[in-house]
Amino acid sequence: IRLDFDAYEGWIDNKQYIEILEENYKQLQDSPLKLSLDLVEFIQDTNNQLHPILLGSCLSGLQLLNHTYDGNTTQGQIAKENIITTAFSYLNAPYLWGGKTPFGIDCSGFTQMVYKLNGYKLLRDASQQATQGEALSFIEESEPGDLAF
């Protein structure tokens, strides 16, 4: 599969996806990104089965799938000052190569998720993230939340 959010490619089990119409996909692309703000929460399907989701899970397609969610969400860009506060929510998370959750996370997964939760889109790998944003001439121009490569 290739993720829409950052075009990252990976593998999933055949039981972990539902095929949707291209028209629905385009609607999801045009809709604001809605994310879970709870460490662990559940979505409920039409059979009243609960499915666990983690902090930063995309909830934009819930209506399309007829799933419900009662937890906290974020939508849109948040003030850049909140990046530091969000970063602290990952304090003491164990290192896990390829991880993107507080239960296991790597360096570029950390920056991607912290920025994602604040409404900013970063690519997945650090080498890709280094190509984004603006270069600064002097360290004095940097602000809290800026990334250095």
* pTM beyond 0.95, yes or no: no
Q: How many domains does the chain have?
A: 1
Assigned domain for 57 exists: yes
Torsion of CA 33, 115, 143, 149, to 10 degrees: -130
Full residue range of the structural domain in which residue 28 is found: 22-132
Are the beta carbons of 106 and 95 closer than 8 angstroms?
Answer: yes
| One pLDDT digit (tens) per residue for the chain, 149 residues | 998 989 999 999 998 888 999 999 999 988 888 999 999 999 999 999 999 999 999 999 999 999 999 999 988 777 788 899 999 999 999 999 999 999 999 999 999 999 999 999 999 999 999 999 988 888 899 888 899 88
Assigned domain for 41 exists: yes
Are the beta carbons of 34 and 75 closer than 8 angstroms?
Answer: yes
Assigned domain for 145 exists: no
Assigned domain for 11 exists: no
Assigned domain for 6 exists: no
Assigned domain for 140 exists: no
Assigned domain for 17 exists: no
